[in-house]
C-alpha cells in the first residue's frame, strides 16, 4: 500500500511539474476587419501551437478605440498581454520609457534586422534598444470610385491642388452624391484630413519645428491655416449624413457598398472595406488611388506621405517563448503570404516584390516615392497630444471649435505633456 501511495505521489509530482512547464502566450491585436488578414493570424497561431508542445498562444482581437483606451490599464496590471500590436511612434516611446516593454537581446535584434527590415525594426526601437518585430508599412491616400467618377464626368487623376479636390467635392454634392465617407465617431479618420493639410502647408521642417516648440509650436499661422482649409471642406458638407455617429468599421462598409466618390484612408482599407461591405465591396477595377493634393504656396510636397510602420512588441514579463513566437508570427514566411495574398504591404525586403494586387501596388508605389514619411500624428506625438489632435479634428468637423482655438489647445497640451 505504502509503495502504491509513494508511486501515486511521484506521479502527481511529475504531472504537477509538467503543468508548471506549460506556457501560455497572450497576444492582443487590433481588430482585423479583413477576413484574409484575420484568417492568416488564426492560421499562424494554430500552426505554431501544433508544432510546440507545452506552449499555447491565445490571440485576442479588439476594436481600435477600445484597444487604445484599455491598453494603458492592461499594461499596469497582471492581465497584461505578452505581445501586443503597436503603431510605433510617441505612444510606443512612452511605453518603453515607462518600463512596460521587454527589449530584445542584441544578437536577436541584429538577426531580425537582417531578415525583417532594418527600417521597420528602427520604428520599434527606443533609446538604443529594440522591442518588437515590424509587420506592415502603411500609407494614407485618397481612394476614389471609378464608376461614380465616370458617371459624374470627373477624372480624379487630374487633381493637382486642394482647390481641384474641393471643386470635385462641389460637383459631387450638386449631383446628389456623397463626396467622402468617414467614421467620425472614432475621430482618428478625421485627423487624416487635418494632418495632411498641415503637412502640405508647412512641410517636413515646419512639422519638426512644431514638435520642438519652435515658431510658436502649434500656435502658429500654419496650423491655423491647416484648420481653416479643413473647415473650407467641412462647409461643403462633404460627409455622409450622421457621420459623427458612424465608426470606422461601419464607414468602410458604406464606402465598399459604393456610398461615396472619395474615401481618405490607408492601404489596409482594401480588405477592411470588402469585409464590411454587404456584397463583397468594390473590385480592383472600380478602385483608384491618388495622393493627397498640394496646397498652393505650401512648403510640403505631394510625395510627402502620412502613414505608419506597425508591428508587435513584447511586454516586460513576456516569457522567452513569446520572443520565439513573435519571430514566427511576423517572420519572412508570414510576410510573404501577406504580400502574395494582397493582405498588406510587408516590411520584409524579401516579401515586397511579391505584392501582386494592383491597388496595393499603387500604395507601394506611393510609399516607394516618399520624400518624407510622417507617422500618424495621433501616434507620433504621444497619447496626450495625439489624443487632442483627434479631438480637435472632430470638433472642427462639427463646428464646436475654431481653427485658432484648435491650434492654441494643441500648443497648450504640448507645453504641459
15 CB-near residues (< 8 Å, 6+ apart) = none
pLDDT at 351: 84
pTM: 0.84
> Any idea which residue has 481588430 for its cell?
31
Residue 342: strand, helix, or coil: coil
Q: How far apart are CA 110 and CA 104, in angstroms?
A: 9
- The β-bridge partners of 265 are 141
7 within some domain: no
Last residue of some domain: 344, 365, 386? Answer: 365
Q: What are phi and psi for residue 108, nearest 5 degrees?
A: -65, -45
Same domain, 394 and 322: no
Same domain, 202 and 165: yes
Assess contact for 300 and 202: CB atoms under 8 A.
Answer: yes
Q: How far apart are CA 305 and CA 266, in angstroms?
A: 11
CA nearest to 259, candidates 164, 148, 174, 168: 148
Q: How far apart are CA 383 and CA 259, in angstroms?
A: 33
Q: What is the pLDDT along the chain (417 residues), one digit of tens a residue?
A: 433 333 443 344 344 444 445 999 999 999 887 789 999 999 999 999 999 999 999 999 999 889 999 999 999 999 999 999 999 988 999 999 999 999 999 999 999 988 888 888 888 999 999 999 999 888 999 999 999 999 999 999 999 999 999 999 999 999 999 999 999 999 999 999 999 999 999 999 999 999 999 989 999 999 999 999 999 999 999 999 999 999 999 999 999 999 999 999 999 999 999 999 999 999 999 999 999 999 999 999 999 999 988 999 999 999 999 999 999 999 999 999 999 998 888 888 888 788 888 999 899 888 888 999 999 999 899 889 999 999 999 999 999 999 999 999 999 999 997
Last residue of some domain: 365, 381, 398? Answer: 365
Cα 123 to chain centroid, rounded? 13
Residue 88: strand, helix, or coil: coil
Same domain, 103 and 196: no
290 within some domain: yes
15 within some domain: no
CA count, 13 A, side-chain hemisphere, 348: 25
| 63-90 per-position pLDDT tens digit | 988 999 999 999 999 999 999 999 998 8
Same domain, 247 and 196: yes
What's the start-to-end Cα distance of the chain, in Å? Answer: 70
CA nearest to 248, candidates 236, 233, 265, 270: 265
108 within some domain: yes
Q: Encode 59-92: b = buried (16+ Cβ within 10 Å), e = exposed.
A: bebbebbebbeebeebbeeeebbbbbbbbbbbbb
Same domain, 103 and 185: no
Same domain, 200 and 270: yes
223 within some domain: yes
54 within some domain: yes
Same domain, 33 and 59: yes
**Domain tally for the chain?**
2
Same domain, 42 and 181: no
Same domain, 200 and 252: yes
343 within some domain: yes
CA nearest to 183, candidates 238, 268, 250: 250
Same domain, 59 and 134: yes
8 within some domain: no
Counting DSSP H helices and E strands in the chain, the numbers are 19, 10
Query: Could you tell me the CATH number of the domain that includes residue 355?
Result: 3.40.190.10
Q: How far apart are CA 326 and CA 121, in angstroms?
A: 13
- In this structure, the number of other CB atoms found within 10 A of the CB of residue 299 comes to 16
Same domain, 211 and 360: no
Q: Which domain holds residue 68?
A: 20-138+308-365
Cα–Cα distances (Å) from 2 to 6, 8, 10, 208, in that order, read: 6, 10, 12, 77
CA nearest to 338, candidates 135, 155, 120: 135
User: Quick one: which H or E segment has residue 141?
Assistant: strand 132-145
Q: How far apart are CA 28 and CA 72, in angstroms?
A: 13
Same domain, 119 and 191: no
Amino acid at each position: 500500500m505504502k509503495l502504491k501511495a509513494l508511486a501515486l505521489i511521484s506521479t502527481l509530482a511529475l504531472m504537477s511539474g509538467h503543468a508548471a512547464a506549460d506556457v501560455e502566450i497572450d497576444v492582443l491585436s487590433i481588430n482585423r476587419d479583413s477576413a484574409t488578414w484575420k484568417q492568416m493570424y488564426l492560421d499562424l497561431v494554430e500552426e505554431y501551437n501544433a508544432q510546440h508542445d507545452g506552449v499555447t498562444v491565445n490571440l485576442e482581437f479588439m476594436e481600435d478605440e477600445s484597444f487604445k483606451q484599455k491598453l494603458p490599464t492592461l499594461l499596469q496590471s497582471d492581465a497584461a498581454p505578452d505581445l501586443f500590436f503597436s503603431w510605433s511612434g510617441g505612444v510606443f516611446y512612452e511605453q518603453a520609457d515607462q518600463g512596460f516593454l521587454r527589449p530584445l537581446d542584441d544578437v536577436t535584434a541584429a538577426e531580425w534586422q537582417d531578415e525583417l527590415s532594418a527600417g521597420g525594426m528602427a520604428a520599434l526601437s527606443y533609446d538604443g534598444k529594440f522591442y518588437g518585430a515590424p509587420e506592415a508599412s502603411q500609407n494614407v491616400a485618397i481612394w476614389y470610385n471609378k464608376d461614380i467618377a465616370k458617371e459624374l464626368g470627373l477624372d480624379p487623376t487630374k487633381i493637382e491642388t486642394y482647390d481641384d479636390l474641393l471643386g470635385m467635392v462641389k460637383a459631387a454634392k450638386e449631383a446628389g452624391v456623397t463626396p467622402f465617407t468617414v467614421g467620425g465617431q472614432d475621430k482618428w479618420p478625421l485627423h487624416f484630413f487635418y494632418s495632411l493639410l498641415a503637412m502640405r502647408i508647412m512641410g517636413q521642417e515646419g512639422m519638426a519645428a512644431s514638435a520642438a516648440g519652435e515658431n510658436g509650436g502649434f500656435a502658429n499661422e500654419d496650423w491655423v491655416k491647416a484648420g481653416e482649409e479643413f473647415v473650407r471642406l467641412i462647409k461643403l458638407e462633404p460627409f455622409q449624413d450622421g457621420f459623427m455617429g458612424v465608426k470606422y468599421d461601419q464607414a468602410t462598409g458604406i464606402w465598399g457598398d459604393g456610398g461615396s466618390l472619395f474615401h481618405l484612408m490607408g492601404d489596409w482599407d482594401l480588405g477592411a472595406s470588402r469585409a464590411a461591405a454587404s456584397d463583397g465591396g468594390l473590385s480592383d477595377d472600380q478602385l483608384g488611388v491618388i495622393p493627397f493634393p498640394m496646397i498652393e504656396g505650401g512648403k510640403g510636397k505631394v510625395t510627402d506621405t502620412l502613414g505608419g510602420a506597425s508591428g508587435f512588441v513584447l511586454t516586460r514579463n513576456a516569457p522567452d517563448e513569446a520572443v520565439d513566437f513573435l519571430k514566427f508570427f511576423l517572420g519572412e514566411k508570414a510576410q510573404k503570404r501577406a504580400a502574395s495574398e494582397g493582405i498588406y504591404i510587408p516590411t520584409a525586403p524579401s516579401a515586397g516584390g511579391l505584392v501582386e494586387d494592383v491597388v496595393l501596388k499603387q500604395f507601394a508605389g506611393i510609399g516607394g516615392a516618399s520624400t518624407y514619411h510622417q507617422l500618424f500624428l495621433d501616434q507620433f506625438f504621444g497619447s496626450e497630444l495625439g489624443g487632442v489632435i483627434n479631438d480637435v479634428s472632430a470638433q472642427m468637423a462639427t463646428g464646436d471649435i475654431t481653427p485658432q482655438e484648435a491650434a492654441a489647445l494643441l500648443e497648450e497640451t504640448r507645453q504641459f505633456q
